[in-house]
Copies of this chain bind each other. A is one copy, B any other.
Amino acid sequence: MSFGFQVTGRDGGARRGVLTTPHGAVDTPAFMPVGTQGAVKGVTQRDLEALGAEILLSNTYHLYLRPGDGLIARQGGLHRFAGWTRPILTDSGGYQVFSLAARRTIDEQGAHFQSHLDGSAHLLTPEKAADIQAQLGSDVAMVLDECLALPAEAGAARSSMERTLRWAARARARFLAIRAGTAPGVIVTNPGQAQFGIVQGGVYPDLREESAAETVKVGFEGYAIGGLSVGEPADVMYDIVARTAPRLPEDRPRYLMGVGTPSDLVEAVARGIDLFDCVLPTRNARNGWLFTRHGDVKIRNARHRDDTQPLDADCACYACRHFTRAYLYHLQKSNEILGARLNTLHNLHYYQELMSEMRGAIEAGSFQEVSSRILERRRYNSALPEEDSQ
């Protein structure tokens, strides 16, 4: 199967679609669980399949440093290495260089940094990021973008956006060379890989507009909106998404990077986004923060200590079908691995169900009604007295 995308339905601004990749199809809108180091924390690959996850996100920066893209290529690519047969999207590593690496300096060439693992020196260029992802063999590779330091004045945001555009052109050229077989030394483990460009421009609508137009001119199989959910108010983010999405080609998938809360997903789907990734469901799970249709639950709260009810009686996940809040509370307080696992299964199940509910609503033409109900319920529950952390 080669890469493709088809919009199969619309409801207001929301799109229902199917992404096809060399490793199978993905019903969109879709949420990608994050497997930073080639593993999603707290669950197995068969758990993810059972949860209905059709695509995972993994991380170029981490896998390049350890175990190395060369090793993974020799193993036949990331799918075989990680025992995951469904699609994978890899981010370019740009964000991690900015957030994790030591002594990073950015120049026109790329990002110079030291590994957070052993201090070794590295240079990540747009070309190098493309090479690494070709060796990993993900189904979707992302271009290397510059992550703007915040808060950013319009001038800095413009410079950064423009550099990201120049890098996008270089990344695309390299990607096409790899595809054409004129990139010696790169082991291509997935000849059907696609490449997505990334729209930057901070919170400035005019920069976003320009970035979208120029990125589309470079030409990619899909487009991402990057640099959001980095501290700006939610309505600013929604506004940027609303202005940017329509400037991207109708027939290409749109991916909102690193976003977000359940409400963010609903708001962004309403504005035409097809793909999401976020560590929220998995990271919050390990900290005992659980998402439910009836509001968020902080399972460490003492009110759950004696509670013989399941986390969510209406939820069909393994944790909710077999265990009580009292047991989940006990596991969390005892730092038992099982707590992280059950919480992660639940949160990912919640996210997958949320996406499934939205897909069904778009198909049925009831997205407005369904999304309003989801958002209303979340607003109502956040208005309840805050649960005190114990």
Contacts and interface: CB of A to CB of B under 8 A. Distances in A.
Interface of A: 37-46, 62, 66-67, 71, 74-76, 81-83, 305-306, 308, 318, 322-324, 326-327, 329-331, 333-334, 336-342
B324 A75 contact: yes
Contacts of A40: 338
Contacts of A45: 322
B338 A305 contact: no
Contacts of A339: 39
Contact of A75 (B74, B322, B326): B326
Contacts of A340: 337
Most buried by B among A43, A338, A339: A338
A323 B39 CA distance: 12
Contacts of A341: 44, 337, 341
A82 B327 CA distance: 7
A44 B327 CA distance: 13
17 contacts: A37-B330, A38-B327, A39-B336, A41-B336, A41-B338, A43-B338, A44-B341, A44-B342, A45-B322, A71-B305, A74-B306, A75-B326, A81-B326, A81-B330, A83-B327, A337-B341, A341-B341
Contacts of A327: 38, 75, 81-83
A331 B81 CA distance: 11
Contacts of A330: 37-38, 66-67, 81
B326 A67 contact: yes
B322 A37 contact: no
Contacts of A75: 306, 308, 324, 326-327
A156 to B, nearest CB: 35
B338 A44 contact: yes
A45 B341 CA distance: 12
A268 to B, nearest CB: 29
A336 B318 CA distance: 22
Contacts of A42: 337-338
Contacts of A318: 44, 46
A351 to B, nearest CB: 18
A317 to B, nearest CB: 12
Contact of A324 (B81, B326, B336): B81
A139 to B, nearest CB: 19
Contacts of A329: 67
A45 B37 CA distance: 27
List the 10 shortest-distance A-B pairs measured between CB atoms, nearest first: A39-B338, A83-B322, A39-B336, A67-B330, A37-B334, A83-B323, A41-B337, A42-B337, A81-B327, A75-B308
Nearest to A74: B306
Contacts of A83: 322-323, 327
Given A81-B324, A324-B81, A337 B337 contact: yes
Nearest to A344: B337
Nearest to A62: B334
Contacts of A76: 308
A213 to B, nearest CB: 40
A251 to B, nearest CB: 36
Contacts of A322: 45-46, 83
B337 A37 contact: no
A341 B326 CA distance: 23
